[in-house]
Structure 1
Amino acid sequence: MALAACGSESEEPEPQRAVVEAPQPVMTSAPTPIAAADGTPIEPGQWFVTEDAEGARALFGAPRSDGKMILSCAYGASQVRFALESDASEPQSWRLDAGGEAARIDLEPSDGELPQLEAYVDQGLAIINALGASGQTFALTSPDGQRRQFPTHPGIRRVIAACT
């Protein structure tokens, strides 16, 4: 009995634990990065993807703007039109970094109304398809070394698919 008495005296009542319910999961879309992995800020704006009877187009910029960048393709064209807002009047070679690859893109002044540089790029290239990833970024580096970062967007895959 002495043992039983000692044992009951040394036992303390177990503390009450609060029951915490886990929050219910909420489905969200892929986050749009605000900075690239290297800390470089992303160009402000968002992607607007449209399709019509002629093809598909992805415009990056503010709503109802001319866009900082436009990727477009006419149905069956096999080449994506890559247009970048620029006042340059001479052809320029830019570097594109996307999906772990790098490529040179030779851009020329556009004949259109907007001040742009443009190039036509084979839609089958892996680096072009990387622009359609979700939650990533890609970079364009000008000839003078200015780096511009843009978020990737899955809607760009619709533009690429329109080329076929």
Structure 2
Amino acid sequence: MIASRLPLRLSTLLLLGVGACVAPPRAPAPVDLPRPTPTLALPAPAPVDWQDWPRTPGTWTYQRDARGSRALFGTAGQDARAVLRCDRAERRLFLSRSGGETTPFTIRTTATTRSIAAQPTGGTPPYVATAFAPNDPLLDAMAFSRGRFVIEQAGTPALVLPPYAEVGRVIEDCRG
């Protein structure tokens, strides 16, 4: 029995020996994968409701002079971005914003929205303005708007302004 198994054992050893002579399988060649492109963080879409728009940076300041009073909106060290002026001699209020665009203003408040023609003031730096009678209801709507009112004008960024006390004070100066 041992002799009959010997050829089987030799065959097995021979097969194992031949198998050991075979080269190991090659690793696959590295594949150049495209580098991942960095994903750009897209800005959040602008809120659709103007009452959710971020406020324009700055604050209101109040001033009196020989002509009347004015509230200026802006940041320290820069020209005002918006001005509400009471001209007591004319008994008129003038709302102006920086820039030279002569397209109409659209003023949005929580109570009303109205478009008003704007004209250049002729000053340096350039401003455009619109005039109001002291009893115009849009003035009260601006002063009492909840949280903000907006001055929009085609070709310029919207001014999203807080209705601070300076606005109402200038209006009352012109009415008094």
State the TM-score, normalizing by the size of structure 1. Answer: 0.68
1:57 aligns to 2:91 (yes or no) = no
Name the residue aligned to 2:84: 71
Name the residue aligned to 1:161: 172
- Cα distance in 2 for partners of 1:63, 1:145 equals 21
Identity percentage of aligned residues: 21
Q: Which amino acid aligns with 2:88?
A: Y
User: Aligned pairs, how many?
Assistant: 128
1:44 aligns to 2:73 (yes or no) = no
Q: Which amino acid aligns with 2:63?
A: T
State the TM-score, normalizing by the size of structure 2. Answer: 0.64
**Counting strand residues as a fraction of each chain, which structure ranks higher?**
1
- Cα distance in 2 for partners of 1:74, 1:104 equals 22
RMSD after superposition: 2.4
Equivalent residue runs for 1:72-91 within 5 Å: 72-88=85-101, 91=102
Name the residue aligned to 2:116: 105
**Counting helix residues as a fraction of each chain, which structure ranks higher?**
2
Name the residue aligned to 2:162: 151
Structure 2 alignment gaps of length 5 or more: 1-46
Conserved 8 A contact 1:60-1:68: yes
- Cα distance in 2 for partners of 1:141, 1:63 equals 23
1:34-58 deviation line (CA, Å, top 9, x unaligned): x987321110000001113320000
Report deviation, 1:131: 2.5
Consecutive aligned runs of 4 or more in structure 1 exceeding 3 Å deviation: 35-38, 144-147
1:66-122 deviation line (CA, Å, top 9, x unaligned): 20000101225332111111132xx31121012411111111112112211111112
- Cα distance in 2 for partners of 1:124, 1:132 equals 13
Structure 1 alignment gaps of length 5 or more: 1-34
Whose RCO is larger (CA < 8 A, sep 6+)?
1
After superposition, the Cα gap between the structure-2 partners of 1:117 and 1:154, relative to the gap in structure 1 and judged at 3 Å, is: same
